[in-house]
Chain A
Amino acid sequence: MKSRIPIYIGALVVIFVVILSQCIYIVDVKECAVVTFFGKPVRTYLDDPGLKFKWPFPFERITKFDQRLQILEIPPQECHTLEKKNIMTQAFLVWRISDPQIFLQTMNTQEGLETRLSFAMVSELAAELGKTPFASLISDATEVKLSQLTEKVMKNVQTLAQAEYGVEIVNLQVSRINYHEQNRPSVFDRMREERRQIATRHRSEGESEAMKIRAGTDRERANILAEAESTAARIRGEGEAEAARIYAEAITNNPEFYRFYRSLQMYETILTSEDSAVIPGDSDLMRFLWEGSDE
């Protein structure tokens, strides 16, 4: 009897600890949890980590899920744009359990959910791309619809995921858009052709610009010289006019004497050593040569 008591106590302690471990549990900061009472969800812990209690095993069960944001990538998909252009796209979404209860009832595993989500994302993306011309996905124009497109796809996937899987889509983006491999050679050909055009354009632009500069230079030089010549002519004309005025002013003083005076000056210049003169002996000039002795 004396020896039995510790055994009972020991057994009681063990049973108590086992039951307690069934009743106490920790929901980690990364997790959310659903407590079910015979399979029926009764309590949900979302954004509510810490020490929790429940009834022991046969009555209540707890299921924990990772509550963190998860990234889901889809492998490159061949899609068609509105004009049936073949493109390879790659996308990803970021999801998180927003309603653990629905998630528990419908999906229960992350793998299953991700398969469904990938499928939904691929089909939504393909559908939206099929309605969008390639030029509005990738364009240097201001209107680019890629972000609008992803918003729309995200909203569609979100609606589905929220209602059916208890999952929230936080982000969805197209990470890649590229030409299909079979189109690469033709794309490269087109690029090369484009480059050649640009190179030619640059060269001819250079030529024309240079010619313009040269022609402008020549014209400007001609202008400068012509202007100088015309100014010079005006200046010379001014000189002539001034001279004429000086002459005229002088002449008006005594026109008759001017004629005489000027004629004398003219003789000095017009008579050269080439000229000869016949001088009458009795001219006023020579008269004294003969008459000097007579008088």
Chain B
Amino acid sequence: MKRFRISLLPVVLLIAWLFSGFYTVSPKETAVTVFLGKVTARRVTPGLGYHAPWPLGVVYRVETTTVLQMPVGYRFIDEIRNVPPTYEQCEWLTGDTNVLRIQLLIQYRVSDPYNYLFANANPIALLRKAGEAAVTNRLGQMKVDEALTAGWASLSTDIKMDLQQSLDRCQSGLEIVKIERVKIEPPQDVQDAFQDVTDARQDKTRIITKARVYKEEILPRARGQAEIILAQAEAAKTMRIASATGDTSKFLALLPEVKNASGAVRERLYRETMEKVMPRLRKRVLVPSPDGSMPSLHLRLFQKKSSPHPSASATADDYPVTPGAGASSEEQEMLRFLKERLGRE
């Protein structure tokens, strides 16, 4: 009975020791198991497992889903203490030998726990240094303007590519998830000069836009004006043709009549015209015929000062005269002149 009790304790201890070989891997983790220094499982997925208990076997757990962050160009501790990074930490050269302040945040996670644990002694230090190297290399091939404006997309892609390559080459077991831009800016000393360039670029756009607005304003108006000019010309053409047609149509209509009775038509037209024209004239002077057969003379003179009207001179049938006289004292003289002239003829 006594012997039995004594031998029970080691058995219990043995069983307890064997039970300590059970282990769990949480959903965030991946485990690597090592038995006597040799890796037995490189990648143990979450769940319950059994492995030889310590000291024969060891289970290493690494969080593989958690995304971690590594600052480049500054340090978290300085940020907490509110110390700005030194120029040596945060300044890089661009391809056109300008200096830029750069702060990036590398987001990474452990993708290969075996390498992370056993192949590389200090993957995190490597990440920091390789990150800086990638920035040096890639920014050193980029113009400052590009880096400050549209270049970030390609810059981050290139840096990520370079960095991943270094990490893989050095078996760090790390994977870059994303590279985030915290700050890319010119150094404090030259910031105003860079700002001026930005302003100038805006000025340029503004001036050009203004000119474009002018163009948009002027050209449609000019086109409208051109339309008006053309429309006016078309109207003038139509009117000209219409008036010609109008002018001639009456004439053409008369022609058959003229053919038949030329004299009658002429007579009628002539009289009609006289009827229209005569009342309009200011002075109508009846002059006795040269043979003096006119019994009396009705004469009326109006005072008038106008120059002789050359186009109103002779036609075959009447004698329009524009007298230059006006005063009543000149009446006699005018009359004498007319008499003399007519008498001579």
Contact = CB atoms under 8 A, between A and B. Distances in A.
Contact of A68 (B119, B125, B130, B342): B119
B304 to A, nearest CB: 8
Contacts, number: 358
B241 A29 contact: no
B338 A220 contact: no
Contacts of A202: 197, 200-201, 203-204
A221 interface: yes
Interface stretch (B1-9, B19-27, B76-84, B137-145): B137-145
Given A51-B36, A139-B140, A192-B193, A243 B243 contact: yes
B302 to A, nearest CB: 8
B149 interface: no
A71 interface: yes
Interface stretch (B10-18, B63-71, B153-161, B246-254): B246-254
Contact of A199 (B200, B244, B269, B282): B200
B284 interface: yes
Nearest to B199: A199
A247 B244 CA distance: 6
A40 interface: no
Contact of A280 (B205, B211, B289): B289
Interface stretch (B45-53, B103-111, B315-323): B315-323
B328 interface: no
Nearest to A190: B97
A8 B88 CA distance: 70
Given A174-B133, A268-B273, A71 B121 contact: yes
Nearest to A253: B255
B122 A187 contact: no
A268 B133 contact: no
B229 interface: yes
B28 interface: no
Contacts of B255: 253-254, 257
Contacts of B259: 254
Contacts of B273: 264-265, 267-268
For chain A, the bracket of interface size reads: 35 or more
Contact of A140 (B34, B143, B319): B143
Contacts of B37: 26-29, 31, 49-51
B286 A281 contact: yes
A144 B190 contact: no
Nearest to A201: B200
Nearest to A243: B244
B260 to A, nearest CB: 12
B336 interface: no
A173 B141 contact: no
Interface in A176-209: 176-179, 181, 184, 187-188, 191-192, 194-196, 198-200, 202-203, 205-207, 209
Given A188-B187, A236-B236, A268-B277, A261 B269 contact: yes
B284 to A, nearest CB: 6
Contact of A200 (B36, B171, B200, B225): B200
Given A175-B136, A224-B226, A228-B230, A264 B270 contact: yes
Contacts of A138: 93-95, 97, 140
Contacts of A227: 226
B292 to A, nearest CB: 10
Nearest to B189: A188
Contacts of A194: 98
A51 B36 CA distance: 6
Interface string A237-252: 0111011101101100
Interface in A244-295: 244, 246-247, 249-250, 253-254, 257-258, 260-261, 263-265, 267-268, 270-286, 289-290
A275 B323 CA distance: 9
A151 interface: no
A272 B244 CA distance: 23
Interface of A: 26-31, 49-51, 66, 68-71, 73, 76, 88, 90, 92, 94, 134, 137-141, 144, 146-147, 170-171, 173-179, 181, 184, 187-188, 191-192, 194-196, 198-200, 202-203, 205-207, 209-214, 216-218, 220-221, 224-225, 227-229, 231-233, 235-236, 238-240, 242-244, 246-247, 249-250, 253-254, 257-258, 260-261, 263-265, 267-268, 270-286, 289-290
Given A69-B121, A275-B282, 15 more contacts: A28-B34, A71-B125, A73-B129, A76-B88, A147-B137, A173-B133, A210-B211, A235-B236, A236-B236, A250-B251, A271-B281, A271-B320, A277-B278, A280-B318, A282-B289
26 contacts: A29-B37, A49-B37, A69-B119, A71-B129, A92-B129, A194-B98, A195-B193, A195-B194, A198-B200, A206-B200, A209-B208, A210-B211, A217-B215, A221-B222, A228-B227, A228-B229, A232-B229, A242-B237, A246-B245, A250-B248, A258-B251, A276-B285, A277-B278, A277-B319, A279-B286, A280-B290
